[in-house]
Chain A
Amino acid sequence: MITTSSKLFYGLGAGALVASIVWFIANDGGSIGSVALLFAALSLVFLGAIASFTRDGHVLSTDTASHASSGAAQRGVSNSIWPLGTAIAMGFVVVGLISSPGIFKVGIGLLIAMLGEWMIQNWSERGSSDAAYNAKIRNYVVHPLELPVGGALLLAVIVLSFSRIMLSLSHQAGPLVFAVAGAVILAFGTLVGFRRSASPRVIGAICGVALTALAGVGVATALDGERAELTKAAEEDHFAHRPCGEEEEEADEDASRSVSAKSSVQATVILEDGVLYAEVDGFEGAQQSITLQRSNPSTILFINRDAEPHRMVVKYGKVVEDLGGGVERETELEACTSKVEEDGQQAVTLTVPKPSYASEEPFEITVPGVEGTKIDLVVP
């Protein structure tokens, strides 16, 4: 017997079969697409057969007593927020189509999520006459998706808000806020740990208020903008990492890797009392020469102990590029820190492609504006 829903599956199956044949002919026997469509056709026909066999799960039309007592007949679908969510998601999609691909993608994601939730609510709330059972089967299906995605979103809100706050704070206030926030979280966790009788609702409410406050402050600081030196650095294009720019003051260039880069360096170059010297692990005292391995990413840390801001410049030869047609371009190889304030430090990582003895110009480290002092760079 061909039931209502089996017609749909049989129809789709037939369509897939036709598409498979068309694909096979149109692609000169291309097999992957036609095999995929053939499998789709078989799967759909199989589903149609199941629908036929179970008669769409309907009770007999003549069995009116069953109609009256069936769970589905007893309960309707309750009010739902998902149509509203779907409308908002559609709004994102439309706005995104006009304005930016990012918003469009977010809208598509939201649309899929809203439609999914809507569909599952409709399905689960018609499952039986028992609301608790319906909620259970709904959660059974949706929780494996909802919980990780919700957790990730929550984490993203926390991380994003916290990062906006930290970027807006000054160098001095940042570590302080970080330490205080950490201590407060630790104290709260300890308190909860010791007071096991504390109501989960109270704890949840406190966490909710804290999260809302964090997100609120995050949004406010994001609107207010980053701290002054970062704004200035962005204006001066520090983050383009072009060699030896014209920036006027220190910025925490490439800050994301500075902690690890500073922890294990090839050498530390120090400017003190108008003299440049290096400290190298294993060599005793101040060094006037550093040996770096060829073709090896090497990090040199610069510490400025002078009252004025200074920049360290590493010169390591030049490269000649063949531009074709007998034209060559010569580029001087150099790496610099941005300007470093008194007692500040900044790491620079460079890879020297050629040995120093292959260059006519010496490889050296200098500080512009501080004459008569340099460090030789030896690359064997």
Chain B
Amino acid sequence: MNRSLIIGIGNTLRGDDGAGVYAAERISPDLPDTDVILTQELHPEFADRIRNYANVLFLDASLRTRRPVVTILDPDAETPRPSSHALSPEGLLSLCRSTYHTLPLRAVLIEIPAFDCDLGETMTEATERMVDLCVDLVPEILAGKGGEKVSSGPDRI
């Protein structure tokens, strides 16, 4: 169980909302022991998948930040509430632990700033730059660098 899983989240039909997917697609295939999956949303069955990985890295667009934010996710933080068919990364971790009594050794969320989520298949230039920046960070983060464990609120780089 030394593999890493990168989950790119987003809708590439909605401009910057697809940033997490675009970033995951740009991850180098040479990155060792790493799997990449793309999804529009996180669903409960992902709990069954992430439990088999040592590291899980979520890449997701965010409307609440203007800079990339790296957060080491803590399932002991405030219990999240699902607001729709989809789950948050924290919610997925919580579900994984409560369902299978296990967790990845380390779970990290990179929030990529999003500026325009209207219909469209391209990102804004600003989000494009942020995506490239985040992709460059991925190898370091998977190596255990970047971010720090927080119980609430994001950790800014």
- Whether A associates with B in a native complex is no
B residues with a Cβ closer than 8 A to A are none
